[in-house]
Amino acid sequence: MTQPVAPTTPLDLLTPELIRAEVARFLSRYVDDPHTLESERLLTGGLLDSLAAVELIGHLERRFGVSVLDDDLEIENFDSLAAVTAFVVRKRQT
């Protein structure tokens, strides 16, 4: 796994790999084994409850400067580490 990105890393230097590492670092507080983040479903698999999902969204908005709109609140955007990473990458490109 890639090393976690420092909170001071400028937003324009964040690659998809660094975004993924930062999301994984944030989510690791919610699981006993961080390796489960690579293979398990976050929401539908029960790794995150609704409060953790809200905290994740707040973290994405603060850390990556993205706005999560009502239309973005689809399970598909937040149900895996890969999906969250892809979501942030997409939002940063718009």
pLDDT digits 0-9 by tens, 2-26? 444 555 566 677 899 999 999 999 9
> Burial level of 46, CB count in 10 A (0-12/13-18/19+)?
exposed
pTM assigned to the model:
0.86
Q: Which CATH number fits the domain that encloses residue 87?
A: 1.10.1200.10
Domain count, the chain: 1
Q: Is residue 9 part of a domain?
A: no
Q: Is residue 32 part of a domain?
A: yes
Q: Is residue 5 part of a domain?
A: no
Please answer whether residues 24 and 37 qualify as being in contact, where contact means their C-beta atoms are separated by less than 8 angstroms.
yes
pLDDT at position 10 is 66
Could you tell me the residue range of the domain that residue 57 belongs to?
A: 15-93
